[in-house]
Amino acid sequence: MSEPLIRTLADVEAFEQVPLEKRIDSWTIPAVVAKGASLNPDAVALYYLLDADPDEIPVTVSYAQFMGKVHQTANLLRRLFGGKDGVVGALLPLMPENFFLVAGAPAAGILCPANWAMNAAQIAGIFNAAKVEVLVTLGPSPGFDIWETSCEVLKLVPGIRHVLQVRGPNGTVDTGKDFTAQISRESADGFAFERDLRPEDTAIYCPTGGTTGLPKLAKLSHRGIAYKCHGFQWILGYLPGDVYLGGPSLFHSGGIVYGALTTLSNGVTDLIVSPQGFRAPKSRENFWRLVERYRVTEIAVPPTMMAALNSLPRPNVDLSSLKKYSNTGSTGLPAATARAFEDKFGVRVLGNYGLTENTTSAALSPRGGEPRFGASGIRLPYTQIKTVVVSRDGTYVRDAGDGEPGVIALKGPGVISGYVDESLNERLFFPDGWLNTGDLGRIDSDGYFWVTGRSKDLIIRGGNNLDPRIIDETLLQHPAVELASAVAKPDTYAGEVPVAYVQLKQGAKASAEEIKAFARANIPERGAAPVDIYIIDKMPLTGVAKIFKPPLRCDAAQRAFASALASLSSGVAASVEVVDDPTCGMRARIMLRSSTGSRIAEAETRAKAIMDAYTTVYELAWQG
């Protein structure tokens, strides 16, 4: 019997009349994956390409073969753990072996994936906090430095007792560390161990998308993940035989839960276009040919990829296999990008809101519902959402009124119990167990959810709160702009003023002044018009292709401080470096140089007076 189609909040509320425990009978990762494989064991679970080339012959893994690899992976890890629960760290690009780990490791213990693009010290910090005992990593491979990074990590993480290497494209592995060879010796018929696995047990230590300091490790439970695997299907309507093209990052909660485990638990085929996912150079130019070649039904691409596809000519290919609705794995979907994508390709990309601490999504736009571009949809069944008013220090004051903006709070089966480092849990929850997301938003009268940004992303100009998304949305309507990101620039009078960084479309030409004038003419709130536009060659992105704002904030502050310090005493120059600081948000390092050796005291006094007019923490030193 098919589940009812959810179109409105009323449908969600009607759906919830049946208790959650009666909706779901599979509450662990091994159970939901086995259920998906049982729908058609001969169906393709994974297609794997090396170079995003529709003409290359893919590696093909059936569901029966996939479950065999899952069993073998779990059996090997349980043996390496010494027959007890343990933690396995993963440093792998997008390969079938990574999917085997995502599904198999939580059956044997706990998985702790990390972004292989981070430096060794950051990765080591994560693995030490997680108490990783086994590391599965890429062997030496051209085009990747993962193994070289892993060697540095091993020096910094003494708790790692076993290392397994996965052979990369044109790469090598140590015979004694070969992951494929090691799992091939294990039983593929089932789990060769007994474990009292409970739904509330931790399945994954998942690094958050932290922008300062070391990422926090969220404890994702089997129950929370299993709930999302069902919840996505209720709203998105996945069917066996669907083909999913999403390039999921398997070190990120959205990639793991939405892009891998949900598809696998519903008998869907995952198309892996390359080990780099959408970062492969050919992934954009071949995107629509891949859709045609593999009869893709479901695409999920970040806004940055959508913007790039919008800038390319519409291909002469058959896209009839595509469903008319798709979701993006990002809250920050500009309305202009979504409308342009639908106009050009006939696919309506719907919004989504989630975070690692809620085991990914809390709200999705229903496929059969009213399109509201810019909204993040309605809440998932059995997940509660509200907005709350907080004090200046972030303490709960009261629930927000109808339509009133506030800090987003969540309750439901997807909310984590906390972080691995329990000291970080103190401000994680509001009263009565509501998750404090740190995000800002509002809920309209129809239950549609509108995210206005992170609380720290707000630009506060002269006491007025400015939503950077309004600026971004407007700039993206300029025909030459591909990506845009507004941030706060420190200002001694207004506290902060808005500036914006833009990346132009390939081959497009536009001056900063032209774009600035466009923004001034089209942004409805006068105070939100950027005072400066900075055109950059490449927008900084996170590992999951979201715009990464910290370096932009630092650059804006550096420009402000350097300009202000240009008025120091004659013969004295100042160089400024602004860095992200986990304790104070941002720190300026100012180095003074004197060409004459005189008037040093005067220049230092002047520099301190200039910097004291800002709220940014700073350090002052002399060079030479």
Are 522 and 573 contained in the same domain? Answer: no
Are 523 and 599 contained in the same domain? Answer: no
Band (457; pLDDT cuts 50, 70, 90) = confident
Q: By C-alpha distance, which of 314, 308, 264 is closest to 291?
A: 314
Asked if residue 1 is part of any domain, the answer here is no
Predicted local distance difference test score (pLDDT) of residue 493: 66
Asked if residue 597 is part of any domain, the answer here is yes
Q: What percent of the chain has pLDDT over 70?
A: 91
Mean pLDDT across the stretch 457-484? Answer: 81
Predicted local distance difference test score (pLDDT) of residue 2: 43
Are 508 and 617 contained in the same domain? Answer: no
Q: How many CB atoms lie within 10 A of CB 548?
A: 15
**Identity (one letter) of the amino acid at 478?**
H
Are 444 and 590 contained in the same domain? Answer: no
- Residue 103 is encoded by which pair of tokens? 């599904």
Are 408 and 342 contained in the same domain? Answer: yes
Q: By C-alpha distance, which of 440, 434, 450, 424 is closest to 396?
A: 434
Predicted local distance difference test score (pLDDT) of residue 486: 95
Predicted local distance difference test score (pLDDT) of residue 278: 86
d(CA 373, CA 306): 15
Mean pLDDT across the stretch 288-298? Answer: 96
Q: How many CB atoms lie within 10 A of CB 178?
A: 17
What total of structural domains would you count in the chain? 3
Are 331 and 184 contained in the same domain? Answer: yes
Are 179 and 54 contained in the same domain? Answer: yes
Q: Which residue segment(s) compose the domain that 129 sits in? A: 9-450
Asked if residue 111 is part of any domain, the answer here is yes
Tens digit of each residue's pLDDT (9 = 90 or more) over 382-402: 999 999 988 767 789 999 888
Mean pLDDT across the stretch 412-427? Answer: 93
Task: Using the predicted structure, report yes or no on whether residue 326 has a pLDDT greater than 80.
Answer: yes
CA 499 to chain CA centroid, nearest Å: 24
- Residue 216 is encoded by which pair of tokens? 């926090």
Boundary of a domain, candidates 500, 517, 548:
548
Task: Using the predicted structure, report yes or no on whether residue 463 has a pLDDT greater than 50.
Answer: no
Tens digit of each residue's pLDDT (9 = 90 or more) over 106-138: 999 999 999 898 889 889 999 999 999 999 999
SS3 74: helix
Q: Which single residue is written with the structure tokens 């909204």?
A: 375
Tens digit of each residue's pLDDT (9 = 90 or more) over 34-58: 999 999 999 999 999 999 999 999 9
Tens digit of each residue's pLDDT (9 = 90 or more) over 553-601: 999 999 999 998 887 766 788 889 998 765 446 789 998 887 666 567 7
Band (427; pLDDT cuts 50, 70, 90) = confident
Are 511 and 564 contained in the same domain? Answer: no
Task: Using the predicted structure, report yes or no on whether residue 177 has a pLDDT greater than 80.
Answer: yes
Which residues, including other chains, have CB under 8 Å from residue 149's CB and lie 6 or more apart? 91, 116, 119, 120, 123
For residue 78, give the CATH number of its domain. 3.40.50.12780
Q: Which single residue is written with the structure tokens 């602004």?
A: 578
**Identity (one letter) of the amino acid at 171?**
G
SS3 378: strand
Q: By C-alpha distance, which of 31, 216, 46, 263 is closest to 122?
A: 216
Predicted local distance difference test score (pLDDT) of residue 212: 37
- Among 362-366, 428-432, 489-493, whose mean pLDDT is lowest? 489-493
Asked if residue 4 is part of any domain, the answer here is no
Q: Which helix (H) or strand (E) covers residue 143, if one does?
A: none
Give the CA radius of gyration of the chain: 25
Are 138 and 37 contained in the same domain? Answer: yes
Asked if residue 2 is part of any domain, the answer here is no
- In which order are the strands placed within the sheet that holds 134-138? 162-166, 134-138, 87-91, 110-113, 202-207, 217-221
- The whole-chain average pLDDT of the chain stands at 89
Q: Which single residue is written with the structure tokens 């760290």?
A: 89
Q: By C-alpha distance, which of 429, 416, 427 is closest to 219?
A: 416
Are 463 and 317 contained in the same domain? Answer: no
**Contact call for residues 577 and 561 (beta carbons, < 8 A):** no
Q: Is 585 exposed, middle or buried (0-12, 13-18, 19+ CB in 10 A)?
A: middle
Boundary of a domain, candidates 425, 450, 475:
450
Predicted local distance difference test score (pLDDT) of residue 392: 64
Asked if residue 471 is part of any domain, the answer here is yes
Q: By C-alpha distance, which of 383, 467, 382, 390 is closest to 427?
A: 390
For residue 571, give the CATH number of its domain. 3.30.300
Asked if residue 212 is part of any domain, the answer here is yes
- Residue 423 is encoded by which pair of tokens? 């000291």
pTM, rounded to two decimals: 0.78
d(CA 15, CA 3): 9
Asked if residue 283 is part of any domain, the answer here is yes
Q: What are phi and psi of 339, to 5 degrees?
A: -65, -45
SS3 468: helix
For residue 467, give the CATH number of its domain. 3.30.300.30
Band (92; pLDDT cuts 50, 70, 90) = very high
Band (4; pLDDT cuts 50, 70, 90) = very low
Enumerate the H helices of 201-334 as residue ranges.
Answer: 222-236, 253, 262-265, 282-285, 287-294, 303-310
Predicted local distance difference test score (pLDDT) of residue 430: 94
- Among 44-48, 277-281, 519-523, whose mean pLDDT is lowest? 277-281
Tens digit of each residue's pLDDT (9 = 90 or more) over 302-314: 777 887 888 888 8
Are 324 and 393 contained in the same domain? Answer: yes
Tens digit of each residue's pLDDT (9 = 90 or more) over 57-81: 999 999 999 999 999 999 999 999 9
- Residue 616 is encoded by which pair of tokens? 């940014």
Q: Which residue has the higher pLDDT, 194 or 622?
A: 194
Band (617; pLDDT cuts 50, 70, 90) = confident
Boundary of a domain, candidates 548, 572, 596:
548
Task: Using the predicted structure, report yes or no on whether residue 315 has a pLDDT greater than 90.
Answer: no
Are 364 and 418 contained in the same domain? Answer: yes
Tens digit of each residue's pLDDT (9 = 90 or more) over 202-231: 999 999 854 334 678 999 999 999 999 999
